[in-house]
Amino acid sequence: MGTQLSAEVASAAARLIVEEGMEYGPAKRRAAKMLGRGSVRSVDLPGNDEVEDEVRSYIQLFCADTQPGELRALRKVALLWMERLQDMRPHLTGAVWRGTATRLSSVHLQLFCDDSKQAELALIDKRVDYDVGSLNGPRGEPIDVLSVSSMSPELGEPVTVHMSILDHDDLRGALKPDVRGQSERGDLAALRRLLDEDAA
């Protein structure tokens, strides 16, 4: 894929992510299709870094007045669940951690559990309704993802919280920075620091 086309796909994907709350992978594939490139292989699609840059630009242009408040509201929802489940070493990841989330975004948590059923038992214990899905984990094998709906008082609407269940051993490399030196996730203390910075 040429640089020009890659940039067009990244830009179209960014709009879908911000305006429709789509995740990066599906947004890139739909953007390629919209631009008449339905047969584009995933290796030809723009990288997530390129798309994230476009998302930041889009937010700056079209949502600069509303997005900071929406992001803060989502981070408060994340904080609530991380405090509830702190025995499972919760880490926040995705757009809410990276600062590109809007009210349409979901909260993505990673729980590093000693026992894969620990999180489900905790939710049952707290009488929380949840759905179970799965995705490919860090070692390529499927992992459980528990999804709950959580009311955000600031947004006045429910937010979806996805919790990926990882093995305690996966925590070792979890805080390594990415190629740009940014962390992919943060723990409870890191999220509290972000919220304090937002409030300052």
Judge if 87 and 144 occupy the same domain: yes
Backbone phi and psi for residue 168, each to the nearest 5 degrees, phi listed first: -55, -35
Judge if 14 and 83 occupy the same domain: no
- Check: CB of residue 197 under 8 Å from CB of residue 99: no
Confidence (pTM): 0.90
Judge if 57 and 140 occupy the same domain: no
Q: What is the pLDDT of residue 136?
A: 87
Say if strands 107-113 and 131-136 run parallel, antiparallel, or are unpaired.
Answer: unpaired
Number of domains the chain is built from = 2
Judge if 54 and 101 occupy the same domain: no
Q: What is the pLDDT of residue 4?
A: 80
Q: What is the pLDDT of residue 140?
A: 82
Q: What is the pLDDT of residue 43?
A: 55
Query: In angstroms, rounded to a whole number, what is the distance separating the alpha carbons of residues 156 and 36?
Result: 38
Residue that terminates a domain, selected from 14, 42, 62: 62
The CATH number given to whatever domain includes residue 195 is: 3.30.460.10
Residue-wise pLDDT for 74-103, tens only, equals 999 999 999 999 999 999 999 999 999 999
Judge if 58 and 75 occupy the same domain: no
Judge if 94 and 168 occupy the same domain: yes
What are the distances in angstroms from CA 10 to CA 29, 49, 60, 103, 143?
10, 10, 16, 21, 28
In percent, the amount of the chain with pLDDT more than 90 equals 72
Query: In angstroms, rounded to a whole number, what is the distance separating the alpha carbons of residues 66 and 19?
Result: 13
Judge if 96 and 150 occupy the same domain: yes
Judge if 71 and 14 occupy the same domain: no
Q: What is the pLDDT of residue 42?
A: 62
- Check: CB of residue 161 under 8 Å from CB of residue 150: yes
Mean per-residue pLDDT over the chain, rounded: 90
Q: What is the pLDDT of residue 163?
A: 97
Q: What is the pLDDT of residue 173?
A: 67
Range of 10's domain?
3-62
Q: What is the pLDDT of residue 2?
A: 57
Judge if 22 and 118 occupy the same domain: no
- Check: CB of residue 13 under 8 Å from CB of residue 28: yes
Judge if 7 and 83 occupy the same domain: no
Judge if 82 and 55 occupy the same domain: no
Residue that terminates a domain, selected from 62, 84, 110: 62
Judge if 137 and 156 occupy the same domain: yes
- Stretches where the chain sits below pLDDT 50 are 1
